[in-house]
Structure 1
Amino acid sequence: MNDVDRLREAMAEPPDQCFAPVDVARVMRIGGRRRARRRLLTGAAMIVAFMAVAGSVLGVQIFRDAQDHSTVTVSAPHTAATDVVPMGTVVDTGIADAEGRAVLFFAHVRDATGSAKYQLVLAHKAADGKLTPTLTIDADLSGNGFHSVTTGHPGSYVPLFGFFVGPVQHFKSVYAGGPLPVDGQRVPELNVTIFWALPKYDAEGITQASVVQLSAFDDQGALLDYGQGPGR
């Protein structure tokens, strides 16, 4: 018997161990359960990932909202001298009453000691162009941020005004738990932006004891680093 015959004989012999027939139904059930488990684990992982991303976005939004405003104490204005002269741009606020249109401008004056200083002046402008100053506040032009934030009362036609040093595109303000509309205009001569609150019923109560929230944003809508609270 050669090697080929021996190989043929070995292959013809029955195996030493007998195997049970395959239970096809059982195999299908086990495979189905494993596939379901994999789908469940994959779905859970996707949900966890989605919640992590959503949570981070929500967290950023909450953080941004929390950073949007900073508390500012309103200063008391003084009665303006009738002979102050505007220096540069006279800003028309668009607010009018029986005495004329409300305007804001800077003036260069001297105090009792003869020292020069700037003032921010609130005035009425009549139809013939005559200016009648009513209120004023000293204006420090150094340092970025909010300056000279003051109430427009007792003049009562501008609830709040002030100016901002630094590049700014728009403002937000909150008073008494609600938004207070704020507008602004650049004064190129001094490289500052005058801002003022628009008339609103619940803003009539703003005084030097009031607390207002103000914030400033750049042209991309981002909160300015120094856009919270009064400039120092």
Structure 2
Amino acid sequence: MTDLDRLRAAMREPVEFAPVDVERVMAAGTRIRRRRRLRNGMAAVAGVAAVMVIIVGSADWLRTAAVQPAGTPSLTITSPARPTSQSGKPIMGDIIRAGDLHESGELAFYLFPIDEPGLEETRFGLVAGRMSPEGRISDHYTTNETEGPDTAPGFHGASIASDNGRIPAFGYYVGPATKITATIGGKTVQAHQAEWSENRSVKVWWFDYSTKEPSNLAAFDASGTPLPLGNNGFGRG
């Protein structure tokens, strides 16, 4: 018998299969299904965890971005320099700026301390000058009280106009004056005035510039009542 005959004979013989163990098959199938469900469950958990990581990470990024403002240029704020006098006189209180402009600067007034023998009742004087844009004041005219207390009610240091720096007639008044007038060129003219920051009862006053000599200097309170005149005569340089 050839090998081919033997193969044909073997193929003709019936195959005997072992009996099927149904319970074993069912148990194996259950284990397979459980493993599949476990794998699917683990995959789902992993997916949810990944999503949560993404969400949390995004939230952290958003929070981080919210507390980190975009860069802005730094600003340096400086206060303007305090005006100074070219003469070196100390300045008491604030500069009074009159706003009148001239080629030599803005008309300005300031008060300075005085400590001179024979002037025991005079503690300050008044300067009229011109202030540069840089805040340096050139003194053009200085005046102060020479007779009696410098804070007695009435006028003090009244001075006529000067063409040196185009300084108008000016002076100061002590008291509740709200209106100061003089006769200039035959007309009654009202002066500008400002309170001194160190003593509000001291009123620095000045007229518009005029080459005509002023006279009849007078002061009035808010009700129009005339106030004490003090030393209301005009001096010259």
* TM class by smaller structure: 0.5 to 0.7
Q: Distance in 2 between matches of 1:175 and 1:131?
A: 28
Displaced runs of 4+ in structure 1, greater than 3 A? Answer: 109-117
Cα deviation 1:8-66 (Å, max 9, x = unaligned): xxxxxxxxxxxxxxxxxxxxxxxxxxxxxxxxxxxxxxxxxxxxxxxxxxxxxxxxxxx
The amino acid across from 1:213 in the alignment is: N
- Summarize the alignment of residues 122-161 of structure 1 with structure 2, pairs less than 5 Å apart: 122-139=128-145, 140-161=149-170
Provide closer, same or farther for how the CA distance between residues 181 and 142 of structure 1 changes in structure 2, counting only shifts above 3 A.
closer
Q: What residue identity is the alignment partner of 1:103?
A: A
TM-score by length of 1: 0.55
Question: Once the 2 structures are TM-superposed, how far is the Cα of residue 227 of structure 1 from its aligned partner?
Answer: 4.1
Structure 2 residues not aligned, in runs of 5+: 1-84
Alpha-carbon distance between aligned partners in 2 of 1:213 and 1:229, rounded to the nearest angstrom: 11
Letter in 2 for 1:180: V
CA deviations 1:186-225 (Å, max 9, x no partner) are 11413300000112xxx2143xxxx51111111122222x
Q: May I ask how many residue pairs the two structures share in their alignment?
A: 144
Work out the CA distance in 2 between the residues paired with 1:152 and 1:117: 24
Pair 1:215-2:218 in alignment: yes
Bigger relative CO (Cα 8 Å, ≥ 6 apart) = 1
Structure of larger gyration radius:
2
In structure 2, the partner of 1:198 is 208
Paired residue for 1:103? 108
Q: 3-state SS of the aligned residue for 2:211?
A: helix
Tell me by how many angstroms 1:157 deviates: 1.9
Shift of 1:97: 0.4
Q: 1:106-141: CA deviations, max 9, x gaps?
A: 100344789774211011111111111121012352
More strand by share: 1
User: RMSD across aligned C-alpha pairs, in angstroms?
Assistant: 2.7
TM-score by length of 2: 0.54
Amino acid across the alignment from 2:152: G
- Does the Cα contact within 8 Å between 2:106 and 2:131 map onto a contact in 1? yes
- Counterpart contact for 2:129–2:165, Cα < 8 Å: no
Identify unmatched segments of 5+ residues in structure 1.
1-79
CA contact 1:171–1:182 (8 Å) conserved in 2? yes
Q: Which amino acid aligns with 2:216?
A: Q
Change (3 A) 1:223 1:117: closer
User: Partner of 2:98 in structure 1?
Assistant: 93
- Residues 1:184 and 1:82: Cα distance change in structure 2 (over 3 Å): same
Give the distance between the partners of 2:220 and 2:91, measured in 1 at CA: 28
1:22 corresponds to: none
Distance apart, 1:156 and its partner CA:
4.9
CA-CA distance at 1:168 after TM superposition: 1.0
Whether the 8 Å CA contact 1:158–1:197 is kept in 2: the answer is no
Decide whether aligned partners of structure 1 residues 81 and 114 sit closer, same or farther in structure 2, where only a CA change above 3 A counts. farther
The one-letter amino acid paired with 2:168 is P
User: Using a 3 Å threshold, how does the CA distance of structure 1 residues 114 and 159 change in structure 2: closer, same or farther?
Assistant: closer
1:215 counterpart letter in structure 2: A
The alignment partner of 1:223 has SS state of coil
| 1:229 positional shift | 5.7
Provide the residue aligned with 1:36 in structure 2: none
C-alpha separation in 2, matches of 1:220 and 1:143: 21
User: Of residues 176, 184, 187 in structure 2, which corresponds to 1:175?
Assistant: 184
Supply the distance in 1 between the matched residues of 2:107 and 2:173 (Cα, whole angstroms). Answer: 19
